[in-house]
Structures are given as C-alpha cells and as structure tokens.
Amino acid sequence: MLRLPSPLVDSNWLNENLHAPELVILDASVAPVVPGYESLNSEASFVAIPGARRFDYDTRICKQDSSLPHMMPEQELFEEEVRKLGINSNSVIVVYDDVGIYASPRAWWMLRAMGHEQVAVLDGGLRAWIDAGLATSDSLETEFPLGDFQAQYAAESFCDFSVVLSALDDPACAILDARSSGRFYGTAPEPRPGIRGGHMPNAQNLPFPELLDGGRMKPVAQLEKIFDELVDGSDRRLITSCGSGLTACILTFAAYLAGHRKLSVYDGSWIEWGAPSKLPVVTD
C-alpha cells in the first residue's frame, strides 16, 4: 500500500509512484496577486502533471454564499465535491500548483482539516516537475468514478475574526501575518480596493517568501529555526493570516513541517479584517 514519506514530496518520488492505484494528483493553482509571482499556465498555454485533477477552491470547493473569496465550505459540500473528484478515504493525495509553492498548501490544509492525513504538497510544484524533465499532459483528467471520501471536519483548523480578536492579547497564541512588510506596516498599498493598510495589534510579520528558496520549501532545520526565533520555541497556538487565507497556509504548512501542531488559519484574513470596520488596525 502506498504511503507518503512526508507532507512534502519531490518530483522524483511522485514520478516513481505516478501509476499507483491509490494516488490522486490535484492541481490547486490560483492566479497570484503577489508581485513577483506568476502562473506558469495561461489561456494560451497549459500543461499539467499526467493524471492531475482540478481542485477548484475558488468557485466549487468553497462557501457559495460568502462575499469573501475561497472560504472553507461546510463539511457536506466539501465531501460531495471531493467525491466528485474520485477521491476515496484511502487515497494518497499530492497537491501542486503552477507557481511553485503558492496555492497548493491551502488545498493541503483543507484536506487535512477534513480529516484526510495522506496528503502532501509537491515541492516546487509544476515548475519543479518540468525542470526535472518529466512527462507532462496538455489537459487535466475530468472523468473518474465517484469516490467514497468521508469528511470529518476539525473546526479549529480554520477560525473567524472573533477567535482572532480574542487571541490578540492571549499569551497562549501567536498571530503570524504572511503579507509583505510593506502591507503589514501600511506603507505599501493593498491589492484589493477599499482595504485598510496595517496589521492586527500584536501580530508578527512572517512574509511567506522567507520560508521558500527558489519556489521550494526551505529545509526543515531552517524552518525550525525561523519558528523557534519567532515564537520562542513555545507550544503556543499559531494563527496564520494573509490577504485572503491563501498564503497563510504556506506559513501553516511550514510550521507543521517544523513540528508545530496547534495550528489555525484565519480564513477571512486581511480582506475581512482590513475592510472598513471597528476591528483594530495598527501600523507600528
């Protein structure tokens, strides 16, 4: 039976197990809004890892009645959509995106939050696969039998603004913001109109690129050092945030690799907190 060696796998491992019956490959690509990050695919050109299926958390596997983007859906909708992808309870899932490591950690965290432990992120994503000279396809798989995936939602995996508000002065919690330092301190504009600049009181800035090296995750020892210095090696609950709950999951993924297990993603993130409201914002 196929088992993952780690929550992070490389292209060689994936290629060696490409035809394993339990394997499911998911393309979770989302067009980046962060300057300096670009999708490999476009309307004019598309490539995929052979057998990959589209994990669309922008329009399908998300709350359908929310004004906020790609919010974590209720358990029933998640289970229904994932079954449509042919995913079973015994599936071994590898998620990638076409930037490198950008959107795939959110898909990883969503699946883990719904109780599926055999899921990993492809280190370096589609670009690393292509750089390794491995075979590609010009389309995604769209036909597969209905899966038997059973969701068991761990509600603490995602949190809302009320949880974050109560955590601001809680020494048992640390709030980590994945946005750039300019956005964090309010000196650079937000990419979405009408959103305030700055950050939550007592939040700490950890721009997600600091966890990456050439589109791949930094070695675990380096990640451990980063988090030990940031949160004093404590056993605090780490709440991650970003612009819209996407790159926050890179922080969550890195923290998981570094050994942290008390993890939660603020789903609404700055697009919710920074909107005109009474939620506190500081710039120092």
**Residue 199 contacts by C-beta under 8 Å, 6 or more apart in sequence?**
177, 179, 184, 185, 186, 205, 281, 282, 283
Confidence label for 233 from pLDDT (cuts 50, 70 and 90) = low
For the domain bounded by 156-273, which CATH number is listed?
Answer: 3.40.250.10
Angle at CA 253, nearest 5°, toward 34 and 190?
25
Exactly one of 62, 159, 173, 242 is catalytic; name it.
242
Report yes or no: 253 and 212 within 8 Å, Cβ to Cβ: no
Beta bridge partners of 137: 48
State the alpha helices, DSSP H only, in 85-219.
104-113, 125-131, 161-167, 181-184
**Low-confidence winner among 3-12, 13-22, 141-150, 226-235 (lowest mean pLDDT):** 226-235
Mean pLDDT of 189-212: 97
Residues 55-78 pLDDT 10s: 999 999 999 999 999 999 999 999
Checking if the pLDDT of 2 tops 70, the result is: yes
pLDDT computed for residue 234 by the predictor: 72
Structurally, at CATH architecture level, domain 8-153 sits in 3-Layer(aba) Sandwich (3.40)
Domains 8-153 and 156-273 belong to one CATH topology = yes
Q: Where are the domains of the chain?
A: 8-153, 156-273
Read off the pTM: 0.98
**Low-confidence winner among 24-28, 32-36, 74-78, 215-219 (lowest mean pLDDT):** 32-36
Residues 75-98 pLDDT 10s: 999 999 999 999 999 999 999 999
Q: Please give the span between the terminal C-alpha atoms of the chain, in angstroms, as a whole number.
A: 52
242 catalytic per annotation: yes
H helix and E strand count, the chain: 9, 12
Confidence label for 176 from pLDDT (cuts 50, 70 and 90) = very high
Residue of higher predicted confidence among 192 and 216: 216
